[in-house]
Each structure stands twice: as structure tokens, then as C-alpha cells.
Amino acid sequence: MSLLQVEELDSRHGLLQAVREVSFGVDEGETLGLVGANGAGKTTLLRTIAGAHRLAGGRVLFDGREITRLPSYKRVELGIALVPEGRRLFPGLTVEENLLVARSRRRTGRWNVESVLDAFPLLRPLRHHRASTLSGGEQQATAIGRALMTNPRLLLLDEVSLGLAPVAVEDVYRSLEKLLEGGATVVLVEQDLKRAMQVSTSILCMLEGRVVLEGAAGELSREQVTEAYFGLRRGAAA
């Protein structure tokens, strides 16, 4: 049984249908790379799974339980954590204070301030610095750490490398890869196709709100994904 199961999911922004009849599953320990051009519906899909955006149709199941109508804070308590696009930290709070914000809804588990700082060592000397003074990479690490503080079973990461300098991307992914090696279950939205295919066990490509290609990352070529990304072909991997 998949840890996450999405069935025929539709989401809208007013009259605009942003996600159209999307279905997929994510097994425990899997990393699903969710790719597609701007406006493909990736962020809306992640927000809908997290309960931050109301769905217009379909179902979401988590560990066999339907959570379609559960509010976002209940989904956090079950073990779903979203790292939103743009990080959305509290700029006036320190790194440590931003991490502690998440503890009110946390589940029991290995993640606390010290273990997060161990996972993201670039944050340890910055733990008492305000978020507003951090670089983009440091902010992204803090945002991922804040999500980990809830001890999630499923981590939803939206646009990990967006707007970051190459050296910052390397730092963040170095820590992220250690999480993945440790068996974390992740849905990763990433514009960098090469990076997404390197770290993911499976790939799902969206175009205009629909899934146009999906398959094991090791069985898809860069050319196949690029063609689907730009709408040059439609269909699923065999």
C-alpha cells in the first residue's frame, strides 16, 4: 500500500482549473520528483495534498486513510509537512525560534533542534541569527528544518533550488541527500531536471495541470522528460 495515494485530484484557482484529474502513489521511502514548466500545477498540487488549498474533486489518502477533507493542521499531526515555495520564514525570529515554531504540532520522533542542526551544519553557527539576515540557501535549510521538526512521515518540498546561488544549492542538496539516504519519503518539486532525476526514485511530469509522463527515474531519459516538460509528446512511460 502506498503511503500517499492521490486519486483523480482536481484543484482550481477561481475559474482556472490548475490541476486536472491527477492520480499517483508514493511508497514509503520513495522520492517522487515532480517536474514541469511554470504554471504546470505543481505548487497547487503540493498545497492541495498538504491541505493548504481546497480541492475541487478527487481524493487524497494517507497510509490508507482518506484525508480529503481534513484541515492542514490535522495533516501535520498525521505526518505530512510542506516546505512552501519562498520559504515563508518569520523574518524577525532567529533560526532556532523558527524551528521551535513547529513544535506545537510535532509528532514524536528523532527530530529536534539539535538533530536538525546536525543535519544542516551550516545553520549551527547561525542558530541565534534572525531569518532576515540569512542567505537564500540558509533560509531554505531553515525552512526544511522547520518541517522536519514536526517529525513528518511525508515531506513535501516545493522549489528547493529556486532563486539560490549554485553554491547554496549544493549545500542544501548535500544535506537533503543524507535525509533521502536515511529513508525519508519525499515529494520534490524541482525546476532543475538534472538535479531532480539524480535524487528521485521516480519522476512525474506535469503540463497544463495534467500528468503527461511518469516512471522510474532510472528508466526515463533526460530527452523523454524534456519533451514531456515542453509538451512535445504526451503519454506515460511503459
Give residue-wise pLDDT tens across range 69-89. Answer: 999 999 999 999 999 988 889
Tell me the per-residue pLDDT of 137-194, one tens digit each, with 9 for 90 and over.
999 999 999 999 999 999 999 998 888 889 999 999 999 998 998 899 999 999 889 9
Q: Which of these, 137, 13, 135, 156, lies nearest to 80 by C-alpha position?
A: 156
Q: How confident is the model at residue 233 (pLDDT cuts 50, 70, 90)?
A: low
Report pTM.
0.91
pLDDT tens, 11-40? Answer: 999 989 999 999 999 999 999 999 999 999
Report the distance separating Cα 14 and Cα 25, nearest Å.
27
- Delineate the domains of the chain, giving CATH numbers in brackets: 4-229 (3.40.50.300)
For residues 215-235, one letter each, b for 16 or more C-beta atoms within 10 angstroms of the residue's C-beta and e for the rest, the string is bebeebeeebbebbbeeeeee
**Distance (Å, rounded) from C-alpha 126 to C-alpha 94?**
8
How many angstroms separate the CA atoms of 91 and 193, rounded?
31
